[in-house]
């Protein structure tokens, strides 16, 4: 046994050191950063473009703005046989990710993780079809179930992006253009709302909800509040399952007394566009490597041509959010591009935004 003989002042000093050691150190944020958020990039494969985007996201969201960034890598097959082609491909992907982002920068989910969170044996989902297609929001739900306790208390929102989402400029700045209050942020693409007709192919992919409760909102890039994610997890554990484009809108609508939705569509000023002003963030858009090079170069030029506007789009969005009753949808953040072919309007709006989002960049 080691006995320490200390004076009163030494004991007080020791206690101070212990207190400082047990107090979390707040992350450092650069000047001009929006409130810190979590950003989860989801993938099932690794390309060089995705790897570059993950490194950039970590720099912009976590290292510069004090947020949280992780890549969620999903494996939907049994890879216990290490010599199988799939297992070797997974191992190669994970080596590349960890070399670029560090051990803590990557979280891997397998079939048993999905089963545990969703509360059914793998392969026995009540919904017909592929689990990964029906539940494209499963990675963030498993992350919430198993890893969300690691978040800094200052972080209130979680952004998620599918692997084929790309951006120019500052993605943390893009996140900062949205109002803070809503619990769910999603895209309606070219539509003005979340209504969907019964003839939609995925309308019946659900174990609950009346027909008039089915809503659709795209989640290639989406934001969740932590309290919404808690309710999403609880509903899932109750066996309330639905196609992933229905989940956020329908569940939030069921809890409309407190849960608020904010949508953006193809006219939003954070949506990337080509030289003609056409939206390049669409669920069915495919952007080739050559196109992406042209878009990235064009956006870099636009960002230098026009100074940022005097008004604050986040404050404008928050004002609109305050005016809306709880449970109502707040349409759009900031200004709209009134005509796709109006190059003066589209160039001015695009140059005023901190960055722009694109979909789908699959290479």
The answer to whether position 12 is within a domain reads no
Tell me, what CATH number does 289's domain have? 3.90.550
The answer to whether position 28 is within a domain reads no
Q: Taking the chain (363 residues) in consecutive chunks of 10 residues, what is each chunk's mean pLDDT?
A: 43 39 56 94 97 98 97 96 96 98 97 96 94 96 96 96 97 97 94 89 96 96 98 97 96 97 94 93 93 88 54 41 43 38 44 88 95
Going by C-alpha positions, the residue among 315, 260, 287, 29 that lies closest to residue 155 is 29
Identify the H or E element spanning 8: helix 8-22
pLDDT tens digits for range 259-316: 999 999 999 999 999 999 999 999 888 999 999 999 998 877 766 654 444 444 444 4
The answer to whether position 7 is within a domain reads no
The number of folded domains in the chain is 1
The answer to whether position 126 is within a domain reads yes
The answer to whether position 301 is within a domain reads yes
Residue 93 φ/ψ region, left for φ over 0, alpha for ψ in the -120 to 50 degree band, beta for the rest = alpha
pLDDT tens digits for range 164-176: 999 999 999 999 9
Q: What is the pLDDT of residue 32?
A: 84
pLDDT tens digits for range 32-52: 899 999 999 999 999 999 999
Range of the domain at 148: 34-359
The answer to whether position 3 is within a domain reads no
Beta-carbon-side half-sphere exposure of residue 84 (alpha carbons within 13 Å):
9
Distance of alpha carbon 1 from the chain centroid = 52
Question: Token digits for 337?
Answer: 């591009």
The answer to whether position 62 is within a domain reads yes
The answer to whether position 13 is within a domain reads no
């Amino acid at each position: 046994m080691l006995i320490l003989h200390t004076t009163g002042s030494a004991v007080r000093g020791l206690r101070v050191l212990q207190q400082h050691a047990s107090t979390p150190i707040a992350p450092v944020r650069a000047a001009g950063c929006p409130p810190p958020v979590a950003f989860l990039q989801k993938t099932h494969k690794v390309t060089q473009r995705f790897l570059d985007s993950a490194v950039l996201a970590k720099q912009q969201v976590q290292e510069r703005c004090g947020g949280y960034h992780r890549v969620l890598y999903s494996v939907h097959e049994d890879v216990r046989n290490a010599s199988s082609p799939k297992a070797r491909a997974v191992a190669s992907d994970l080596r590349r990710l960890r070399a670029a982002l560090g051990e803590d920068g990557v979280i891997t989910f397998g079939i048993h993780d999905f089963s545990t969170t969703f509360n059914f044996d793998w392969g026995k989902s009540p919904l017909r079809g592929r689990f990964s297609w029906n539940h494209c929001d499963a990675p963030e739900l498993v992350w919430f179930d198993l890893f969300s306790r690691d978040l800094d208390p200052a972080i209130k929102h979680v952004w998620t992006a599918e692997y084929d989402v790309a951006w120019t400029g500052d993605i943390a700045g893009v996140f900062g253009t949205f109002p803070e209050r809503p619990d769910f942020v999603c895209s309606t693409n070219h539509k003005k709302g979340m209504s969907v007709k019964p003839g939609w192919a995925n309308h019946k992919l659900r174990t609950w909800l009346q027909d008039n409760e089915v809503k659709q909102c795209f989640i290639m890039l989406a934001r969740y509040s932590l309290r919404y994610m808690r309710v999403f997890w609880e509903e899932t554990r109750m066996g309330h399952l639905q196609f992933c484009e229905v989940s956020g809108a329908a569940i939030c609508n069921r809890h409309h007394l407190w849960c608020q939705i904010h949508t953006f569509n193809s006219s939003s000023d954070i949506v990337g566009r080509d030289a003609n002003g056409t939206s390049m963030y669409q669920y069915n858009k495919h952007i080739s490597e050559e196109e992406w090079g042209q878009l990235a170069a064009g956006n870099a030029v636009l960002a230098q041509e026009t100074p940022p506007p005097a008004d604050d789009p986040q404050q404008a969005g928050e004002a609109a959010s305050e005016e809306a009753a709880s449970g109502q949808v707040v349409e759009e953040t900031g200004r709209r591009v009134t005509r796709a072919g109006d190059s003066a309007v589209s160039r001015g709006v695009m140059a005023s935004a901190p960055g722009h989002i694109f979909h789908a960049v699959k290479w």
